[in-house]
């Protein structure tokens, strides 16, 4: 089968070409506020790239502020969803960009945020489906950031619920899916095994003191990668954190020398 634009872009999302991914989301500047000061922005991007991240995730306007020479081999993912912590419904997300604009910005992929169980779930699902159709027309990979969040969710780390969530992303046309994680690795392995597209574990709950160890456990559970934002851009040395995470993702936990977090080390098979 001949390759198309989507397959080329998907290949660029994994620096090593191994189908594993380390993404650094920086879209928090819309939801929560600035991730760094104006004078430090280019430096943050360069430090993330130097550490070996496969891609950064930013909004369309922020993408224009990245120096043309800063990304190197690091891919660009343009995030199309927005919502803020000041909204009446903090789980609501709306589309603020489109695939055509992302193509013009040189994006290698786009991402859409969906909160399952929220009051606006129906609209968010419709948005995901519409963006997936546009991605097929433009040969653009789609990352679904999909989570169980909202007034109808009692346990956001329930593996049965997370399995449902990642399969919604699959069924509506996503190529990759980022989601929350279970309490233990063996339960996360159930989520991964239920899903035919690559699953990326989100950066970890507040109680995960060592995000690298936490990520090592997720990779042992079979995740295809990690998406770590706040733990990177708030670190004293982002390059070091990214480099250690990249080693866990691409070399593997054993080869990297990182010890998995105790609650995420009970799986010894299915290493991604």
Known catalytic residues are 27, 147, 178
By CB neighbour count within 10 A (0-12 exposed, 13-18 middle, 19+ buried), where does 99 fall? buried
94 three-class SS:
strand
Cβ atoms of residues 269 and 252 within 8 Å = no
Q: What are phi and psi of 46, to 5 degrees?
A: -65, -35
Cβ atoms of residues 203 and 26 within 8 Å = no
109 three-class SS:
strand
Chain-centre distance of CA 105, in angstroms? 19
Helix (H) or strand (E) holding 59: strand 55-59
113 three-class SS:
strand
Six token digits for residue 193: 């095994």
**Residue of 68, 63, 65 whose CA lies nearest to 80:** 63
Six token digits for residue 110: 């786009």
21 three-class SS:
strand
Cα radius of gyration (the chain): 17
**Residue of 10, 8, 5, 3 whose CA lies nearest to 198:** 10
């Amino acid at each position: 089968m001949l390759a198309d634009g989507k397959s080329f872009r998907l290949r660029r999302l994994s620096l090593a070409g191994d189908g594993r991914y380390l993404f650094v989301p920086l879209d928090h500047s819309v939801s929560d506020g600035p991730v760094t000061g104006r004078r430090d922005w280019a430096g943050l991007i360069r430090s993330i790239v130097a550490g070996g991240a496969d891609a950064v995730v930013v909004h369309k306007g922020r993408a224009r502020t990245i120096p043309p020479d800063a990304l190197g081999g690091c891919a660009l993912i343009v995030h199309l969803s927005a919502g803020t912590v000041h909204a009446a419904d903090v789980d609501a997300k709306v589309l603020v960009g489109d695939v055509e604009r992302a193509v013009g910005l040189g994006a290698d992929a786009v991402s859409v945020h969906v909160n399952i169980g929220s009051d606006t779930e129906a609209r968010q699902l419709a948005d995901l489906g519409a963006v997936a159709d546009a991605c097929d027309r433009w040969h653009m990979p789609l990352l679904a950031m999909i989570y169980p969040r909202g007034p109808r969710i009692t346990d956001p780390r329930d593996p049965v619920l997370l399995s449902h969530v990642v399969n919604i992303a699959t069924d509506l046309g996503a190529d990759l899916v980022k989601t929350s994680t279970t309490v233990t690795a063996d339960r996360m392995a159930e989520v991964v095994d239920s899903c035919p597209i690559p699953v990326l574990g989100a950066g970890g709950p507040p109680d995960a003191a060592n995000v690298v160890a936490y990520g090592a456990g997720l990779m042992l559970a079979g995740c295809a990668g990690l998406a770590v934002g706040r733990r990177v851009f708030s670190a004293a040395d982002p390059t070091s954190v990214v480099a250690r995470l990249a080693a866990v993702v691409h070399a593997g936990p054993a080869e990297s020398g990182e010890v998995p977090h105790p609650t995420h080390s009970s799986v010894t098979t299915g290493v991604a």
